[in-house]
Structure 1
């Protein structure tokens, strides 16, 4: 096997892989035409479902017009300009500007560099420290690995980027203590997922997100909301963080749902406070960018997906479906293999398995659900789910039955 899969035990995968051949709505089909409920929306992104002709047509039309061209310097294209205007208007960020990337990991790199550079521009070059949370996932690039809070993802690489630290994900007091330990005049930014996704669907405690925003404002720390998973309807709003209406982040990172995964695209929504020095010539150029930033076909896909979100009312579905999903998954709470159900904020959930289960238990649960025609994703100590926003109650029933079969195997 020549394809080296990401995040994969290749000793096992090289003997057996699941070849996904095609998709249709909430379903995917393997090479033997077995049908599966895509209860993870692939990797949290297939929000509008698979094989939407409108997106394919928009991309095809763009490919016939201008397939690709860089946007460095003064070059641009209409789809890139249009998607940035739409996203800036939708984002809960003051005087928003949008820096495009190729994906979520790229976006974290941009946000981290912008945060540090912001204080250099302000004459405070000592403010470089970055803080993040346990269980958090911010991609696997340099800054993203450093900021990550999933232990196996951040170890065994040798030294990571200095002047960064991680605090308990659910403690505002721990964050405040770390800010005071480092020194508020040394901290540049705090990185926060509204709901932690890859780290096991961990909901913030009551008052946490607002408290974080207040603490950052008190000490002049930039608040970076990582909405790569939570945006575009997953929490029932455009960027997820609107669930806390008084919070105005300095930056929001996004990707995944912006194109529903049809073509890779990501970006950072930055406030005018951060962007203005570059726009008015007070700061030297921001010497950073991806080859495919503003890729015309990717932006055409995003524009088509944004139209679908708006035309079909899908953004609100994340909030409408959070209750039914929580009810369904909570019906499994008394299963002897289950230690915890994490659900109720957005259309995503997780099952935590009993601590005495062995490390292979999540994989057995995934395999049992797959045999019932349901795809869920193993996370450390359990499984996570995040169906497409076009799912309905019957799909939630099927998901629960698949989970039950997997738990019985555990």
Structure 2
């Protein structure tokens, strides 16, 4: 591997940007990425192949989701067979489909929430919207009409639907819409200081707060594991103030922590869990919410006066996506991939500690489960280092706090993981002139 003679393209001219492909890239500063996009056309295991002939190690598992790697024939076959039988049918009112029902039972069995009901939809952003709406609906039904505010943490990312945008702790995701918050009743709390959280609750008034939404380990915010005692403290604050606790497990759910859920890893008892990404390993768009009995039971009472919670979308409970999820969960169990992640956790921590020890440009390394972050000195750019990594044959991703994301597929070998961390070190050294 070498970075000799590496030159990176600069920003494109206005003309070339205007003549770029019709597809509008997501989360992109268009003048910077136009003309520089890597077009992925094939994947196999932990590796990706681009249209221009590159072979790249997928050090981020896509957007945290490709847990069983790319090109899995069993998942492709499950989708194919299901489409031949029934591509999908909606689950509104009297109708359902067999795969959505089976997936609901399987997820309830796996859920850290006892006797959970499962709401299915198309992804993590959908799930956050539904969970926040259910929190508010719950308190309105209880006759506690003032409980509307949704709390979230600094540096949090919860998708980009209206609620996800409104509760984002990354300010750049909330700016530019003509109002402080698309949904007005939201507020941010400290990402690591329970005392500040308690102060915020007292300032707003517990009688006005419906729920607190948190990731167990912040992902896009910079791979931030919780400070010791933080999660326990906010759980206590929620419990003592009748505030619902919503745990966003879109990244951590289904094995990323070496346990099936981060709730188990950290000993949490949330009222709702949102999930997506890892439920299908990204092979089909699917997400949802696990709901505790005290929230769902009032909507199941045998009475004409029982209220309706108005959730649902065309592809909620999509039969093909559900079939893929069921097969994926079978693979996780059969191939013992979650215990494998638990083994890889110590390998990742050892490799990151070694990297920090040999590079002064690394200011901090963070890890939890198979999630890692390498924070760089301000003299370096994580974005530029990740561009350099591509030239070395590896994919990293720059995150908030000048941090490089590490979250490879569960099938990664110890050797691949070590080589990836070493490549990060080489790219850092090249940029810092070492």
TM range (shorter): over 0.9
Equivalent residue, structure 1, for 2:24:
4
Q: 1:212 maps to which residue?
A: 234
2-structure distance, mates of 1:94, 1:182: 31
The RMSD of aligned alpha carbons is: 1.2
Shift of 1:331: 1.7
Q: State the match for 2:94 in structure 1.
A: 74
Q: CA deviation at 1:16?
A: 2.1
Unaligned runs of 5+ residues in structure 2 are 1-20
Q: Please report the TM-score for the alignment, with normalisation by the length of structure 2.
A: 0.91
Superposed CA offset, 1:187-221 (max 9, x none): 11010101001111001011221222122111111
**Are 1:388 and 2:409 counterparts?**
yes
Instruction: Determine if the alignment matches structure 1 residue 352 to structure 2 residue 372.
Output: no
Structure 2 residue 300 is the aligned partner of structure 1 residue 276: no
Q: How does 1:193-342 map to 2 (within 5 A)?
A: 193-245=215-267, 247-280=268-301, 281=303, 283-334=306-357, 335-342=359-366
On the 8 A contact 1:368/1:405 being kept in 2, the answer is no
Counterpart secondary structure, 1:316: helix
Is 2:195 the partner of 1:185?
no
Stretch moving more, 236-245 or 84-93: 236-245
Normalised by the length of structure 1, the TM-score is 0.96
Task: Map residues 91-102 of structure 1 onto 2, 5 A cutoff.
Answer: 91-102=111-122
Q: 1:156 to 1:64 in 2, by over 3 A?
A: same
Find the aligned partners of 1:320 and 1:397 in 2 and give their Cα distance.
14
Matched, 1:132 2:152: yes
Confirm or deny that 1:33 pairs with 2:53: yes
Q: Any stretches of 5+ residues in structure 1 without a counterpart?
A: none
Alpha-carbon separation, structure 2, partners of 1:120 and 1:94: 24
- Whole-Å separation in 2 of the counterparts to 1:21 and 1:402: 24
Aligned residues: 405
Contact 1:189 1:223 in 2 (8 A): yes
* Contact residue 339 and residue 355 of structure 1 kept, 8 A: no
SS of the equivalent of 1:331 reads: helix
C-alpha distance in structure 2 between counterparts of 1:407 and 1:270, whole Å:
44
Deviations 1:256-300 (A, max 9, x none): 000000010000000111111111155421112221000000000
**Partners of 2:355 and 2:422 within 8 A in 1:** no
Residue 22 of structure 1 aligns with which residue? 42
Q: Is the aligned partner of 1:165 residue 2:171?
A: no
Residue in 1 aligned with 2:6?
none
Determine the C-alpha separation between the residues in 1 that align with 2:365 and 2:337: 25
What is the CA distance between 1:398 and its match in structure 2? Answer: 1.4
SS in 2 for 1:58: helix
Using the TM superposition, give the Cα deviation of residue 356 of structure 1 relative to its aligned residue in structure 2, in angstroms. 4.1
Q: Residues 368 and 402 of structure 1 are in contact (CA less than 8 Å); yes or no, is this contact kept in structure 2?
A: no
